[in-house]
Structure 1
Amino acid sequence: MTEVVLAAAPTQMLAERRRFRVLRKLAAHRSFKIGLVLVAILVLCAIIGPMLTGIDPTAMSIRSRFKPPSARFPFGSDQYGRDILTRVLYGGRLSLSIGLSVALISGVFGAAIGVTAGYFRALDPYVMRLMDALMAFPAILLAIGIGAALGAQASSIVVALSVAYVPRTARIVRASVLVIREMEYLQAARVSGAGDLHIIVKHVLPNCLGPLIVQLTFIFAYAILAEAALSFLGIGPPPPAPSWGNIIAEGRDYSVEAWWVMLFPGLAVSLAALGMNLLGDGLRDVLDPRLKIET
């Protein structure tokens, strides 16, 4: 027993040093830091911003319609006299929650499918051909079809976008598993009598987390952009509940005389997508040893 503990100690210390090096590289990576700051600001605004304004995002005032940005309406008002700043802050909650939900669902199901296909060779051709069939359709078109069938609501968008992005996540995980399953330490685990479930949980999944996390940051950004596009087409979360996408959609008929209605939610969508992409770039540079770290 003493020998096992002594042998495990260097391995644990090595893992801790590796984690420390990763955190140090992330702290020094310019893109990662900028992306983290942008995302943190947007999340903070979505959480506490509505509490600071104290305004109902659905409250209408016809006499205040189409007010340009001013001290009373920092982002202006829309065709119903609603405060755009408040609606953008509340809309951030819905848009960011949709992006997070799509990323989590795609991560869970994509990882499960990718590990199954990559680890169990007999299932690989059948599972991946199904994923290839789904990937044959452009993600946005597949999401439009599913969203139209399920109806215009937030849950429909989450399901539609998750179905569109699960195959892409599954292929990323499968590619990692195909390499990992041939490693010597996995062969040693099989020889020692470890079962498939134990090997997958203890050895395969932890070594797939790097590429998976990077992929999910990009999916988060894609989901926010796709929600805005689907809402613009009338398939997203229906009004009056605000999301960045449906605020932009409501302002498209007034883009000339009330440009601010589309401008500020559009900037929020752009900043969220930029922040998540910068985060993903930083994680990819640090977690992929084949790439040179840029600081």
Structure 2
Amino acid sequence: MTDIGVEAIVSGGGLNSPQRGRSVAKLFRHRSFVIGFAIIAALTLAAILAPLLTSLDPSAMKVRLRFRPPAPGFIFGTDMFGRDIFTRVLYGARVSLFVGLAVSVISGFCGAVIGVVAAQFRKLDAPIMRLMDALMSFPAILLALGIAAALGPRVSSVIAALTVAYVPAGVRIVRAAALVVREMDYVQAARLSGASALRIIVRHILPNCFSPLLVHLTFIFAYAILAEAALSFLGVGVQPPLASWGNIIAEGRDYATEAWWVMLFPGIAISLAALGMNLLGDALRDILDPRLKGGD
């Protein structure tokens, strides 16, 4: 999202305007939002209800059933160890969606705090933004790969690595929004009335930075799911026997020709999750940016 787009969303009042109720109603009439919400809700429910949808253990090995193609007994087939792919995809959704949610929430919180501090305290602005520029000079996936390799292959390392990789973009977006809000009349009035910097940040600046940040975080959720899959595929992400969409694909790469289903179904799940979050982000941007007209 560009700084101009951020300014437009902030000037339009975002989620804190008197029209907030109407904006929510518009969201549920927006085709992209409805489709994206349905996709993400279905994937989330499938992950939560995994024990009810299948009675199999995702790590249980039955070598005599290895490489069974999709059939009524195993609708997604089995892998090289005879494990049911449908079960592993369901349980893998728990890990992959959790990583996406954790990265978006933590990076959003850190981005909001650092971005507002940079905008409000001018002496800290330059050093903070130069540090963010330095982090952004590395491709996010390469930065995450290096951090995850240094911390070790586990879920917490993946979350930490992706958070560091995606925080700078959030900082820039919040800072751009905060710089706009900081110069508005009601903030200047609060400052002249003697309100402390902390009160101004918490009561006036942060709430008006939420809208552009929310739009950004929907895309970060999708990027994090894709990046987790990439890190697991490269061997520095979530490790077996814990299932994630990425390591299921990694385990099936050596059998891509004779057992294509091992990679196909987790790949479809990743694509659906990324599509759903991008549709949600597009809808939020359409509704919150007054320069755009959201489709109903």
Same fold (TM over 0.5): yes
Q: Secondary structure at the match of 1:208?
A: helix
For 2:106, the equivalent position in structure 1 comes to 105
CA distance in 2, matches of 1:264, 1:157: 22
Question: Does the residue aligned with 2:74 lie in a helix, a strand or coil?
Answer: coil
- TM-score of the superposed pair, with normalisation by structure 1: 0.94
Distance 2:123 2:291 in 1: 31
Once residues 24 and 257 of structure 1 are traced to their aligned partners in structure 2, the CA distance between those partners, rounded to angstroms, is: 49
Amino acid aligned to 1:281? D
CA deviation profile, 1:238-279 (whole Å, cap 9, x unmatched):
111100000000000000000000000000000000000000
Counterparts of 2:156 and 2:246 in 1: how far apart (Å)? 15
Q: Tell me, what secondary structure is at the counterpart of 2:24?
A: helix
**1:180 corresponds to:** 181
The Cα shift of 1:294 comes to 2.0
AA at the equivalent of 2:24: L
Equivalent in the alignment of 1:49: 50
Q: Does residue 233 in structure 1 map to residue 234 in structure 2?
A: yes
Q: Distance in 1 between matches of 2:98 and 2:29?
A: 29
1:124-162 deviation line (CA, Å, top 9, x unaligned): 101100000000000000000001101111111000000
Q: How many residues align?
A: 281
Question: What are the Cα deviations for residues 65-90 of structure 1, in whole angstroms up to 9, with x where unaligned?
Answer: 00000111010000000000000000
Q: What do the CA deviations read for 1:185-208 (whole angstroms, capped 9, x no partner)?
A: 100111111111111111101000
Superposition pairs for residues 127-206 of structure 1, below 5 Å?
127-206=128-207
Q: Which residue of 1 aligns with 2:10?
A: none
Counterpart Cα distance in 1 of 2:27 and 2:223: 23
Could you tell me how far apart the structure 2 residues matched to 1:43 and 1:100 are? 11
Q: Matched residue of 1:122: which SS?
A: helix
1:10 is matched with which residue? none
CA distance in 1, matches of 2:64, 2:294: 56
Q: In the alignment, does 2:91 pair up with 1:90?
A: yes
Hey, what does 1:267 align to over in structure 2?
268
Report what 1:27 is aligned to: 28
Paired with 2:215 and 2:122, the residues of 1 have a C-alpha distance of 25
Q: Comparing 45-54 with 100-109, which one deviates more in the overlay?
A: 45-54
* Higher relative contact order structure (alpha carbons within 8 Å, sequence separation ≥ 6): 2
User: What is the CA distance between 1:49 and its match in structure 2?
Assistant: 2.4
Which structure is larger by alpha-carbon Rg, 1 or 2? 1
Distance in 1 (CA, whole Å) between partners of 2:285 and 2:185 is 25
| Deviation for aligned residue 1:290 | 2.0
SS at match of 1:78: coil
Residue 262 of structure 2 corresponds to residue 284 of structure 1:
no
Distance 1:218 1:108 in 2: 15
Deviations 1:218-250 (A, max 9, x none): 000000000001111111111111000000000
| Aligned AA (1:190) | R
Deviation string, structure 1 residues 271-292 (Cα, Å, up to 9, x no partner): 0000000000000111111222
Distance 2:128 2:152 in 1: 29
Looking at structure 2, the residues matched to 215 and 201 of structure 1 have their Cα atoms a distance apart, in angstroms, of 20
Residues 48/26 of structure 1: CA separation in 2 closer, same or farther (3 Å cut)? same
Alpha-carbon shift at residue 16 of structure 1 (Å): 8.0
- Which residue number in structure 2 is paired with residue 80 of structure 1? 81
Mark the runs of 5 or more structure 1 residues left unpaired by the alignment: 1-14
Q: How does 1:239-254 map to 2 (within 5 A)?
A: 239-254=240-255
Deviation at 1:18, TM superposition (A): 1.4
Task: Measure, in 2, the Cα distance between the counterparts of 1:266 and 1:50.
Answer: 22
TM-superposed deviation, 1:51: 2.5
Residues 74-111 of structure 1 show CA distances to partners (whole Å, capped at 9, x for unaligned) of: 10000000000000000000000000000011011111
Q: Extract unaligned runs of 5+ from structure 2.
A: 1-15
Q: Specify the code of the residue in structure 2 equivalent to 1:26.
A: L
Tell me which moved more, 278-287 or 48-57.
Answer: 48-57
